[in-house]
């Protein structure tokens, strides 16, 4: 242990310059209270945006693309592998212009709509409430519905809840029965508006607080269904929004949302695939800045709710690059490289540290939009590097966090906008999974150097059983429809048990997940 601390001090003081030889050190401790990683932290988001729903998840029963009752089979099977805990729908900005009654009943009788937020695309409403909730059943995940506060009425929202969850002999439950669904679905998570400060109605926080109170009052619990009501939260650094909502809404909400995107600059987002090493490191800096943002929102929540009854739900996060060339404007279709994989891994490492407050997060978005798991083009499908991170981290769902102290050299990065941030070369997270095994995730973001990591355990020395590796020759590598396997998970064995713990030898720019017992 003393040797570990000494090495750590040297590294931090910058006394060692040839970092290929410096050991990064990691001490894994015993669990503390309240440290369960809520499975919903691994949540997904599907908005009516571009080809996320139409073409991505849903092709319709008459499509030549192999499907199960209209859902793309290839996408369905790939998503099942991720054990998705929760899926948010129908938006995003789309939610506050969505009128759910237009999306029920015989599909050929449903009116079309113009998707005003996202490129003005005309949609035929063939994917609506029944299609979404049945998809969640197929995936075995909780649905998370975003209700329309911006342009909808209290009555419309109340009836939607009744349509989905009531088993009584009432007009809305009977309408559902007439549409082929006898029993109500279980719907737990219900969002009362989305980005109500912006596309969801351009409101100020005190006004929205009152609207939340009013709308939420009529979102009833039918039978045994208990709604978990989520208020539309702040974007990034808007701490006042959180403060006003905590003060004015308080325990009337079960959760408060937060959106944080890893964006270089809203006016100059940059290419998803063509970037230099400085742009890579500054992306990592922006990604990791979420930790400070979380800490400040959590501190405000703690002030009003010290017992942590209200959950923080980061229900939109991920990278946002320029739309891919040749794709339709407003559809937010972007490629996904090893850089995106790091953003996913490092963000999870941070979320795991705040499990007593953060109970759900939803990466934006599941298919074909922003930092997707999956990209599709007609009948082709590719899995992205981000998909593989979700797969490698799957066993963290429901696991108990093991606090850790990591000592890694750091790098100062200056973004093109001039923001200065410091990032560690090695990041990690550890947890005891449901089988009693330890999952340890390590990221070496160093583009130049391999790294040796010396791991010790607070209590007893443990044995590494197996490892998975995600890396590629170039940080900008990605999977395309023609070359779908450039980046993929491989087996990792470059670790050994020592007298002190475990030593891991990580390739440059790599993500490793070890199973230890």
Q: Nearest distance from residue 199's CB to ligand AHR, in Å? A: 6
Q: Nearest distance from residue 261's CB to ligand AHR, in Å? A: 7
Q: Nearest distance from residue 332's CB to ligand AHR, in Å? A: 6
In terms of Cα–Cα distance, which of 360, 352, 317 is closest to 441?
352
Pairing state between β 311-319 and 358-364: parallel
- How far apart, in Å, do the first and last CA atoms of the chain sit? 21
Q: Nearest distance from residue 314's CB to ligand AHR, in Å? A: 12
Cα–Cα distance measured from residue 240 to residue 221, given in angstroms and rounded to the nearest whole number: 31
Catalytic residue among 131, 142, 195, 323: 195
Q: Give the residue with the Cβ less far from ligand AHR, 364 or 445.
A: 364
Q: Give the residue with the Cβ less far from ligand AHR, 253 or 512.
A: 253
195 assigned to active site: yes
Catalytic residue among 123, 131, 316, 323: 316
Q: Nearest distance from residue 365's CB to ligand AHR, in Å? A: 6
Pairing state between β 228-235 and 255-262: parallel
* Crossing angle of the two packed helices 338-351 and 385-392, in degrees rounded to 10: 30
Q: Give the residue with the Cβ less far from ligand AHR, 262 or 456.
A: 262
Output the CA angle 337-352-284, nearest 5 degrees: 35
SS3 content of the chain, % helix, strand, coil (to 5): 30, 25, 45
Q: Nearest distance from residue 196's CB to ligand AHR, in Å? A: 10
Q: Nearest distance from residue 353's CB to ligand AHR, in Å? A: 25
Q: Give the residue with the Cβ less far from ligand AHR, 312 or 438.
A: 312
Pairing state between β 23-28 and 404-407: antiparallel
Give start and end residues of each alpha helix (H) in 352-456: 385-392
Q: Give the residue with the Cβ less far from ligand AHR, 88 or 159.
A: 88
Q: Give the residue with the Cβ less far from ligand AHR, 120 or 223.
A: 120
137 assigned to active site: no
> What is the number of other CB atoms lying within 10 angstroms of the CB of residue 65?
16
Q: Give the residue with the Cβ less far from ligand AHR, 92 or 285.
A: 92
Number of residues that make up the chain: 517
What the block records as the tokens of 426 is: 């090695």
Give the H or E element holding residue 428: strand 426-432
Site residues (vs ligand AHR, CB under 6 A): 47, 91-93, 194-195, 316, 364-365, 370
Cα–Cα distance measured from residue 69 to residue 342, given in angstroms and rounded to the nearest whole number: 36
Give start and end residues of each alpha helix (H) in 218-308: 239-248, 277-288, 290-304
Residue nearest ligand AHR, CB atom distance: 92
The pair phi, psi for residue 240, each rounded to 5°, is -65, -40
Cα–Cα distance measured from residue 132 to residue 281, given in angstroms and rounded to the nearest whole number: 38
Cα–Cα distance measured from residue 53 to residue 94, given in angstroms and rounded to the nearest whole number: 12
Cα–Cα distance measured from residue 434 to residue 440, given in angstroms and rounded to the nearest whole number: 14
Catalytic residue numbers read 195, 316
């Amino acid at each position: 242990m003393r040797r570990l601390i000494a090495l750590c001090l040297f590294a931090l003081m910058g006394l060692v310059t040839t970092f290929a030889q410096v050991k990064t050190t990691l001490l894994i401790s015993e669990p503390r209270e309240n440290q369960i990683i809520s499975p919903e932290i691994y949540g997904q988001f599907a908005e009516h945006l571009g080809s996320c729903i139409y073409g991505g998840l849903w092709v319709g029963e008459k499509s030549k693309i192999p499907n199960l009752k209209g859902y793309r089979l290839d996408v369905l099977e790939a998503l099942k592998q991720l054990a998705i805990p929760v899926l948010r729908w129908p938006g995003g900005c789309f939610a506050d212009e969505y009128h759910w009654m237009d999306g029920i009943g015989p599909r050929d009788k449903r009116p079309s709509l113009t998707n005003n937020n996202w490129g003005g695309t005309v949609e035929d409403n063939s994917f609506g409430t029944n299609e979404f909730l049945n998809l969640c059943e197929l995936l075995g995940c909780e649905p998370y519905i975003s209700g329309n506060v911006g342009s909808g009425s209290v009555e419309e929202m109340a009836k939607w809840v009744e349509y989905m969850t009531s088993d009584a002999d009432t007009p809305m439950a009977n309408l559902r029965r007439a549409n082929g669904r006898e029993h109500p679905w279980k719907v737990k998570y219900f969002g009362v508006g989305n980005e109500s400060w912006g596309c969801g109605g351009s409101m100020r926080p005190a006004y929205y607080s009152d609207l939340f109170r009013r709308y939420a009052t009529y979102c009833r619990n039918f039978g045994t269904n208990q709604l978990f009501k989520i208020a539309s939260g702040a974007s990034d650094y808007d701490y006042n929004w959180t403060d006003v909502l905590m003060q004015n809404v308080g325990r009337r909400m079960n959760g408060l949302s937060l959106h944080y995107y890893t964006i270089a600059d809203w006016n100059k987002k940059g290419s998803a695939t063509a970037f230099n090493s400085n742009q890579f490191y500054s992306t990592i800096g922006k990604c990791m800045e979420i930790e400070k943002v979380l800490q400040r929102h959590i501190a405000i929540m703690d002030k009003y709710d010290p017992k942590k009854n209200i959950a923080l739900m980061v229900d939109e996060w991920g990278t946002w690059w320029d739309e891919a060339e040749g794709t339709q404007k407003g559809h937010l279709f972007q490629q996904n490289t090893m850089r995106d994989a790091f953003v996913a891994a490092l963000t999870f490492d941070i979320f795991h540290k705040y499990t007593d407050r953060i109970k759900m997060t939803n990466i934006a978005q599941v298919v074909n939009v922003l930092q997707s798991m999956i990209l599709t083009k007609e009948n082709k499908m590719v899995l992205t590097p981000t998909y593989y991170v979700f797969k490698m981290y799957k066993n963290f769902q429901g696991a108990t966090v093991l606090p850790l102290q990591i000592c890694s050299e750091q790098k100062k990065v200056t973004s093109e906008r001039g923001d200065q941030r410091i990032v560690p070369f090695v990041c990690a997270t550890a947890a005891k999974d449901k089988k009693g095994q330890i999952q340890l995730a390590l990221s070496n973001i160093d583009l130049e150097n391999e790294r040796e990591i010396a791991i010790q355990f607070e209590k007893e020395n443990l044995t590494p059983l197996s490892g998975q590796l995600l890396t590629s020759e170039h940080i900008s590598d990605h999977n395309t429809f023609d070359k779908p396997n450039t980046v993929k998970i491989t087996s990792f064995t470059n670790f050994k048990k020592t007298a002190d713990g475990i030593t891991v030898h990580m390739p440059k720019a790599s993500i490793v997940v070890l199973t230890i017992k």
